[in-house]
Amino acid sequence: MKRRLFSMVVVFMIIALLALTGCSNTKSAGNDSDVTITYWQYTFPAKVTEIKSLIKKFEAENPHIKVVAQDFPYDQYNQKVSAAMHAGKGPDILNLYYGWLPQYVKQGYLQPIPQDFMSTADIEKKYIPMIQASKIDDQYYTLPIAVRSLALFWNKELFKKAGLDPDTPPKTWDELIAYAKKLTIRKDNGKLEQEGFAWDVNGQGYHAFEEVLLRQWGIEPFSEDGKEVQWNSDPAGLDAFTYWINMNKKDKIGEPNFLTDYNTAFKAGKAGMIIDGSFDIAAIKEAAKFNWGVATLPVKAEGGLEANFGSFWTNGIAKGVKGERLKAAEKFLDFLTSEETQTDWLKNVGELPASASFANDDSINNDPIYGPFVQGLQHAHATFFVDEAKERDSMSAQIDKILLNNEPIDKTFESLVKEQQQIRDDYFNNQ
């Protein structure tokens, strides 16, 4: 009897010990564990510096989470992501252009924002309406820190030298062309020495045509469901395209590759005006050693329709991230999209806060540099790209036919619209 009683006590002690051990393991795998997550973005100096600073702050507040950030050149970024994701070695959080989202989702790189982290209704309540362009099949896969719009930068010193009022930027496109002609300087052999307006396709010119000029000429660029390209739905579409192309071809107020690109020419003091995004404010502040100003985009005629292009880079959690890494990724995403981070981001990167709560912030709205971008946001449209890279390449290649091969503007326009439509058809037919 005593031997049996002794055996029962031993078994009980072993069970109790195992139970205690089990409790200890659970605790170790939970809050007290160190978790490392990775964050990828493309190499944009102001953002890279800001993310490093934010990570330092986040890790101080969350000593058990380590964030490893990596950045890659813009033109290699999508290839890096693709190779890493297919090899199962991708990051936990990706920063991506909102126009790439349909392809990222199609390739299975991202998981939807967990509803218990932030519901669809809460996302739409938190952010300005423009970010709804990133909603796919009624789900959000990413959350932005900031948004962008376009504005006109002008060099006040070049204005003064050309006999223009340095404090009065053009209000209409006709005025812009007239001012730009006065600002443009060419050598005797015709080579450009200073451009009046940095006309471009690969920078913001593409968006300015698609979302600003077309709308101001009375064309809704795409059908409401994004399936149809409507640029040629009315002869006014060709008129807008011809007007835009002739800034280069006929008026000769700027060239796409002058001093490499449009914003390099402006920062060097060799371009009278450019259209650029708020994301370039910090770089222009640092590089442009002259007096410059920012204004809202011109309109077709005074009092006419204002239009703008809105865009944003956004952050998503990679598909397959789960458990403690998912919790850590959510915590970092929550930190990145907080109002405090958005304020910091505006100050150090120059992009505008994405939260709707900033809409009535007079310190931003009345700022002489940020103010025109905020006003632009009120009229901004974020294009629903189905394949941003293909759509941009198509536009660039067709414009080259006109500028380099002297092909007719009207026939090239029709060819361009067909190509753009085909890209959309390919996407929607393979949904």
Enclosing H/E stretch for 139: strand 139-140
Number of domains in the chain: 2
Side-chain half-sphere of 262: how many Cα atoms within 13 Å?
24
- Chain centroid to Cα 257, Å, comes to 23
DSSP reduced 3-state for 300: coil
- Check whether residue 295 and residue 242 sit in a common domain: yes
Q: Confirm if 421 and 226 have CB atoms less than 8 A apart.
A: no
* 98 domain-assigned: yes
Q: Confirm if 391 and 385 have CB atoms less than 8 A apart.
A: yes
- Check whether residue 193 and residue 302 sit in a common domain: yes
**Contacts with 143 (C-beta within 8 Å, 6 or more apart), sequence order:** 113, 118, 123, 127, 314, 315, 316, 333, 336, 337
pLDDT at 278: 86
- Check whether residue 301 and residue 318 sit in a common domain: no
* 128 domain-assigned: yes
**DSSP character string of 181-199:** HHH-EE-TT--EEEEEE--
Sign of the torsion angle spanned by Cα atoms 155, 157, 163, 168: positive
Whether the model pTM is above 0.95: no
pLDDT tens profile 110-138: 999 999 999 999 999 999 988 998 999 99
- Check whether residue 387 and residue 291 sit in a common domain: yes
Helices 45-61, 339-348: axis angle to 10 degrees equals 150
Sign of the torsion angle spanned by Cα atoms 295, 301, 306, 307: negative
Which phi and psi angles does 91 have, rounded to 5°?
-75, 170
DSSP reduced 3-state for 403: helix
Percent of the chain clearing pLDDT 90 (strictly above): 79
- Check whether residue 251 and residue 292 sit in a common domain: yes
363, 381, 399 — which closes off a domain? 381
pLDDT tens profile 320-360: 999 999 999 999 999 999 999 999 999 888 889 999 988 78
- Chain centroid to Cα 151, Å, comes to 15
334-to-59, 341, 372 alpha-carbon distances in Å: 13, 10, 29
- Check whether residue 186 and residue 202 sit in a common domain: yes
- Check whether residue 389 and residue 245 sit in a common domain: yes
Alpha-helical (H) ranges within 99-231 are 101-106, 120-126, 156-161, 173-183, 205-207, 214-216
* 373 domain-assigned: yes
* 15 domain-assigned: no
**Token pair recorded at residue 144:** 């932005």
**Shortest CA distance to 56 belongs to which of 69, 45, 43, 44?**
69
- Check whether residue 209 and residue 99 sit in a common domain: no
* 10 domain-assigned: no
* 28 domain-assigned: no
- Check whether residue 376 and residue 387 sit in a common domain: no
* 27 domain-assigned: no
- Check whether residue 419 and residue 284 sit in a common domain: yes
**Contacts with 63 (C-beta within 8 Å, 6 or more apart), sequence order:** none
- Check whether residue 125 and residue 233 sit in a common domain: no
Bridge partners, residue 293, by sequence: 154
The amino acid present at 289, given as its one-letter code, is K
What is the CATH number for 68? 3.40.190.10
* 1 domain-assigned: no
CB atoms within 10 A of CB 180: 24
pLDDT tens profile 392-426: 999 999 999 999 999 999 999 999 999 999 999 99
pLDDT at 25: 36
Segments forming the whole domain that contains residue 297: 149-309+383-430
* Ranges in the chain, pLDDT < 70: 1-33, 431
pLDDT at 33: 66
**Contacts with 266 (C-beta within 8 Å, 6 or more apart), sequence order:** 153, 155, 198, 273, 274, 276, 284, 288
- Check whether residue 45 and residue 186 sit in a common domain: no
